[in-house]
Chain A
């Protein structure tokens, strides 16, 4: 490995990006900080991304913010920013939800700068975060064609997870053409929630859509599904993609062209 100093002497790199809404970053952080404590934010000309396994290596988080989603994005060369998420949370607490946020990494690469600007531009706050050197492997889940894709309101997803979470540890998700069914079997009893694809399309955010290649029936840990539910504020809808013997992918989109936050969870073997 090459130390930060050497790395930076290699080029006169500079990274700078501005988002109009600090709330987006704040929500993303809320959605992953229970799973990941330290992570490398990879900055490249394409955008800002993060891939990390949770500390118990059961699930994987993958976040992408496309360059075009930023108000301003400048990246001369790819660089990784090692960030302790608890420290970053502390700094982001100082930003108002409607503030714009500017992220800068300077030549030395040992710190990142955050600038928060209120909408009326009469308040400007600047923070500096000391960066970490995180030596970890870069992991990803290869793209695949899923057998079943379910789109549903985020709030519905969150409710199902928290309702069923009190009953048991695992949930069986069965997807057929007609419905998606969440079943739990716990010590105190059983429960299930069944959603049918909605026929009315007047409120797009309340729609349940199922696209199916073949029916699936898999078991997952509710605890992790509940961790993922923390991302519900990021998006009105959530997409669950399933394939037999393959991790469940749960995707929250930040809006058109902005990017996404994806979680992957390995199925439990029955």
Chain B
């Protein structure tokens, strides 16, 4: 429970956890929202869940609910129990198949843990020991007020420790201690570990505890065999209705835990229930130049988009606005005169619609904290009740999730019992590596949609306008509430996470609030406990860190033979390498033999890993990890098979989510054993696994090369080797050889290790280790895709130009097989760059201002720029957390690059010269050299020098030191030579005069072209905005159109001016 006291847990939430808080939350009297209720009561109740066909009483059927969340409360006197003792009451929040929300309050389950029995223990002493434990516990102030016994049960349990195989595998006696409340487990465990208790006549000074660190809810779920998001059945004659509702859920029941029937998620129980999801977004009216702060700035709009799984139409689309707002088609607009009314109405909307899941974009760190803080500033005592329990205040806590896989994230947690917060921003940050996480660029990436990006300083302006400007804002707000929903649907986040919860056996919410480890912990417990294997509580993983923390050797990489391979290259992969090694060699905590005990084993009974650790063979004892993996992988096979047969799209998405979840979980097992700060780290295991892996790759290489003469292994990494069989093979021949090789070599490895042939690369460009590109073929008819690893197509710290050029070049090289075409393309791009013809949006790099500018040590471009922007105008300067886009402009000789970072829009407006040389040398050159070196060798520098670099354009800035004083002297539009002042009205010099007509035509064509482009871009923006009658306000720095629009506008002005010099047409106005 109290994770802050646990050994440094890789995954635990430091500071405070929600669950911990549930023990001490205070219950306030429910507040009535009479005032605002009256106004929109009718509307809100039309959004409520359907009335229920559910019957209560003798002849009612069994109640089945889909469990979505579990928490618990501490009840001083649980009157449901016979002895009315203090107990934890578990609360299962669920939905019936008909879409009714049900709160099941589960009574009677008590936590337990184990200690090793004192030696020569006499079972007759159990009552005495129980009594002394009880006495010792009563002496602790936090336990003394417990109603009923503290120690509920004490019994002998015969089992084994999960860690280490002991020769002859003897059973050990443990004492199972069952206590009244979850928090007592740790307190008692600590007393026992310290030896702060006397069990005479036994003289052990300390007792090692087992499974005391298991979370109470997990303990409950394991004991009742309940999985995350699984179906729980309550027999009709076993549950009771409470006298008084304690929640906003439709139905509440009380039941003893022994009467629960939990269905494992298989077969028919894979179905789901209608889940209500509310996606919302708020808008605030900030003051000019300051990011909105709840202390000062009003919440002016809240948009809601509520859906129910399985229904194609949303249940509610509403927008709550402060002040009048013109109607919006397809949405209900509710207008309020005061902010307090608006906020209170939102709470009653929430209670009336009763969503199971709250979603949105960055709601955890912006919208929700803002609403709560704002309500407290306004002293709205009825607002912070967003959970499903009546009278339980919603509070915020800071949390910090440190995980080796996800990194450290600071975030907020809320007490909102029964509602799961799924912030799409957090999901995306967790699951996808992207250039930018702004809602805009994410929508563009996954939905192919842009949205209007209204800077927060404009929002206030729109708000203070009239009902039409507020309508505009409301449309914008609605879109922001709608997009997270779309993303969730498109990425199938909910389905995938629910399946993961089912596979791992943990509540859905834990997947978001905790790291990878908890999944394996759950799986391990679920598998080990039925075999009477108990998991030791490792006190402090650093106790012998000096020797254990030594890092073990990672995976192997066969030195790449670099080059551009025009023949097919077959790729042989080990399927699920690490899991299959663990299964093949029976690697597990429970089969690992301590080095000093190996001598007691017969040589045929154990396997020695290449790293020197020994594991008993499955014939002696089968490892728990192997069993877990076997289950996961065979379940995955089943899921995949079912997926092939399934036709219903919804079932398909569930099955696909399931097979993914199974794969993720299987791969997490290896990481769990290696995580040095995890629950149960064991470097012997992870070192053995990688050692086997290395040996297998090397064996494969030598086998391939010996069995297939003239074949060469050109590269190999972790779980795959790339083989070139012969220079002159067709794709078909290579594929059949690859298949043969996989079959032959698989036989030399123990089951279930399997070498698979899945694909050929043809052609294949091997740049260096972990950097390659190739066309991937799995069948002979067409290639599947272009596969790139470690190449600058996705890197985030580059400008888009690099990614674009690199991917285009690879396409030319690999797909079109046109080396000359690729070279020409590069030259053309460089030439365009030097002539300032490249779209500036391609040159933008953006970095997040993640901390205050003063806290940065090194000089970073975006920080220097931030200071510059702040000096220019503190009002429009970016704020903390904003991404700052920048381009690099020309500067003094030797001026550091970070000082030359400039705001792209400022650059456009003032026509500042870009440092094209810098982009060429520091951005484009390296990646392109890497790609072309294996192809054209030393000639590669010819790409960057020569004729195509000799045309450059230097723009004339409209700002900066000397510019205020300069005068542009007139030059000839034909040949660029200065025109003497006496003839300064002339557009052309006297030598070019003869060609006036053709020069005029040329410039006229330029103007026409720019006009055409400008019109197209403007239309595009109008479409994105959804209106052709309003000005385009968008300042979306992620959008290429935006920059192009500005640039073309500028070019158009310039060329129009040239045209004017001929004095033929009246000047157009732009």
Interface set of A (CB-CB < 8 Å, partner B): 1-2, 6-7, 10-11, 13, 34-35, 37-38, 40, 42, 44, 51, 53-60, 77-80, 82, 130-142, 223, 246-247, 264-266
Interface centre among B890, B962, B991 (most CB of A within 10 A): B962
Query: Which of B952, B967, B976 gathers the greatest number of chain A CB atoms within 10 Å?
Result: B976
Q: Which residue of A lies closest to B836 (CB)?
A: A135
> What residues of A have a CB within 8 angstroms of the CB of B992 in the complex?
2, 7, 10
Per-residue interface assignment for chain B, residues 163 to 205, with 1 indicating a CB less than 8 Å from any chain A CB and 0 otherwise: 0000000000000000000000000000000000000000000
Nearest CB of chain B from residue A89's CB, rounded to whole Å: 14
Q: Which residues of B contact A (CB under 8 A)?
A: 835, 890-893, 895, 912-913, 917, 947, 950-957, 960-971, 973-978, 989, 991-992, 994-995, 999, 1002
Q: Are A57 and B971 closer than 8 Å at their CB atoms?
A: no
Taking a contact as CB atoms under 8 Å apart, the answer to whether B835 and A266 are in contact is no
Task: Assess whether A57 is in contact with B967, with CB atoms less than 8 Å apart.
Answer: no
Interface class of chain B by DSSP: loop
**A141 lies within 8 A of B953 (CB):** no
Chain A residues near B991: list those with CB within 8 A: 10-11, 13, 77-78
Residue of A nearest to B892 (CB): A56
User: How many Å lie between the Cα of A142 and that of B967 in the bound state?
Assistant: 7
A138-B961 in contact (CB<8A):
no
Report Cα–Cα, A247/B965, bound state, in Å.
Answer: 7
**CA gap between A132 and B912 in the complex, in Å:** 21
In Å, the complex CA distance between A130 and B960 comes to 32
Measured in the bound complex, the distance between the Cα atoms of B891 and A130 in whole Å is 26
7 tightest A-B contacts by CB? A58-B961, A136-B954, A266-B961, A78-B977, A133-B951, A57-B960, A135-B953
Q: A136 vs B989: C-alpha distance in the bound complex, in angstroms?
A: 17
Could you show 29 A-B contacts with beta carbons less than 8 Å apart? A1-B976, A1-B1002, A2-B992, A2-B1002, A7-B974, A7-B975, A38-B952, A38-B954, A53-B962, A55-B892, A56-B961, A60-B966, A78-B977, A78-B978, A78-B989, A80-B976, A132-B951, A132-B952, A133-B950, A133-B951, A134-B953, A135-B953, A135-B954, A136-B953, A136-B954, A136-B955, A141-B967, A223-B892, A266-B964
- Cα distance, A31 to B673, chains bound together (Å): 67
Complex contacts, A130 vs chain B, CB 8 Å: 947, 950
Asked if A79 and B950 make an inter-chain contact with CB atoms under 8 angstroms apart, the answer reads no
Given contacts A6-B995, A57-B963, A138-B971, contact A35 B954 (CB under 8 A): no
In the bound complex, how far is the Cα of B962 from the Cα of A220, in angstroms?
Answer: 12
- Report A85 CB to chain B, min CB distance, Å: 12
Other-chain residue from B892, B953, B967 in contact with A140 (beta carbon distance below 8 A): B967
For the complex, give the distance between the alpha carbons of A52 and B893 in Å.
15
Q: Is the beta-carbon distance between B965 and A80 smaller than 8 angstroms?
A: no
In angstroms, Cα B892 to Cα A34, docked, is: 8
A247 surroundings in chain B (CB, below 8 A): 962, 965
The answer to whether residues A79 and B961 also contact, given A132-B952, A133-B951, A139-B968 and a CB cut-off of 8 A, is no
* Chain A min CB distance to B369 (Å): 43
Given contacts A53-B966, A55-B913, A140-B969, 7 further A-B contacts (CB under 8 A): A55-B892, A56-B890, A57-B912, A57-B957, A60-B966, A130-B947, A135-B976
CB contacts (< 8 Å) of A54 on chain B: these are: 892
Which of B892, B970, B977 sits near A79, CB closer than 8 Å? B977
Q: Are A58 and B962 in contact (CB under 8 A)?
A: yes
In the bound assembly, the distance between CA atoms of A141 and B964 in angstroms comes to 10
Question: What residues on B are CB-neighbors of A131 within 8 Å?
Answer: 950
- Chain B residues with CB under 8 Å of A223's CB are 892
Q: Chain B's nearest CB lies how many Å from the CB of A45?
A: 11
Nearest A-chain residue to B964, judged by Cβ = A266
- A79, B964: Cα distance in complex, Å: 28
A56 touches B960 (CB 8 A): yes
By a CB distance below 8 angstroms, the chain B residues around A11 are 991
Which of A34, A42, A135, A264 meets B893, CB within 8 Å?
A34
By a CB distance below 8 angstroms, the chain A residues around B962 are 53, 57-60, 141, 247, 264-266
Measured CA separation A6–B995 after assembly (Å): 10
Q: Kindly state the separation between the CA atoms of A7 and B989 in the bound complex, as whole angstroms.
A: 11
Knowing A56-B892, A79-B977 touch, does A10 contact B965 (C-beta < 8 A)? no
B961-A1 in contact (CB<8A): no
Asked if A266 meets B968 with Cβ closer than 8 Å, knowing A42-B977, A54-B892, A139-B956, the reply is no
Specify which chain A residues have a CB less than 8 angstroms from the CB of B974 in the assembled complex: 1-2, 7, 10
Give the distance in Å from the alpha carbon of A140 to the alpha carbon of B967 in the complex: 5
A264 to B963, CA, bound (A): 11
Bound-state CA distance A10–B977 (Å) is 14
Residue of A nearest to B995 (CB): A10
- Which has the most chain A C-beta neighbours within 10 Å: B947, B961, B970, B991? B961
**Which of the residues B965, B969, B976 comes within 8 Å of A40, measured between beta carbons?**
B976
Give the residues in chain A near B951, CB-CB below 8 Å: 132-135
How far, in Å, is B991 (CB) from chain A's closest CB?
5
- Closest B residue to A43 using CB positions: B977
Give Cα distance in the complex from A224 to B991, angstroms.
39
Return the contact of B965 from the options A7, A44, A266 (Cβ within 8 A): A266
A60 to B835 alpha-carbon distance, docked (Å): 22
- Residue from A7, A58, A59, A134 in contact with B952 in the complex, judged by beta carbons closer than 8 Å: A134
Nearest chain A CB to B973 CB, angstrom units: 7
Once bound together, how far apart are the Cα atoms of A11 and B957, in whole Å? 33
Contacts of B917 in A (CB 8 A): 37
Nearest CB of A to B799, in Å: 20
A246 to B965, CA, bound (A): 7
Q: Which residues of A contact B965 (CB under 8 A)?
A: 141, 246-247, 264, 266
Residues of the B chain whose Cβ atoms lie less than 8 Å from the Cβ of A56: 890-892, 895, 960-961
Instruction: Provide the bound-state CA to CA distance between A135 and B956, in Å.
Output: 10
Give the shortest distance, in Å, between B755 (CB) and chain A (any CB): 56
Which of A35, A40, A51, A135 is in CB contact (< 8 Å) with B835? A135
B957–A135 touching, CB < 8 Å: no
Nearest CB in chain A to that of B917: its residue:
A37
Task: Give the chain A neighbours of B953 by CB distance below 8 A.
Answer: 134-136
Q: How far is the CA of A264 from the CA of B956 in the complex (A)?
A: 16
CB distance from B818 to the nearest CB of A (A): 27
> Chain A residues with Cβ under 8 A from B1002's Cβ?
1-2
* Residues A132 and B950 in contact, CB atoms below 8 Å apart: yes
Name the distance in Å between B478's Cβ and chain A's nearest Cβ.
Answer: 46
- Please, how many angstroms separate the alpha-carbon atoms of A184 and B953 in the complex? 38
Measured CB to CB, the nearest residue on chain B to A266 is: B961
- Residues in B whose Cβ lies below 8 Å from that of A264: 962, 965
A133 to B955, CA, bound (A): 14
**Nearest-CB residue, chain B, relative to A263:** B962
**CB-nearest residue of chain B relative to A6?**
B995
A48 to chain B minimum Cβ distance, whole angstroms, is 12
Q: Which residue of A lies closest to B953 (CB)?
A: A135
CA distance A206 to B967 in the complex (A): 35
Asked if B975 and A2 sit within 8 Å, CB to CB, the answer is yes
Point out the residues of chain B lying under 8 angstroms from A135, CB to CB. Answer: 835, 951-954, 976
* CA gap between A7 and B974 in the complex, in Å: 7
CB closest chain-A residue, reference B955 = A136
> Who on chain A is nearest to B965 by CB?
A247
Chain A residue numbers with a CB within 8 Å of B961 are 56-59, 265-266
Q: Chain A's nearest CB lies how many Å from the CB of B909?
A: 15
In the bound complex, what is the Cα–Cα distance between A247 and B961 (angstroms)? 9
- Please measure, in the bound complex, the distance between the C-alpha atom of A265 and the C-alpha atom of B960, giving whole angstroms: 11
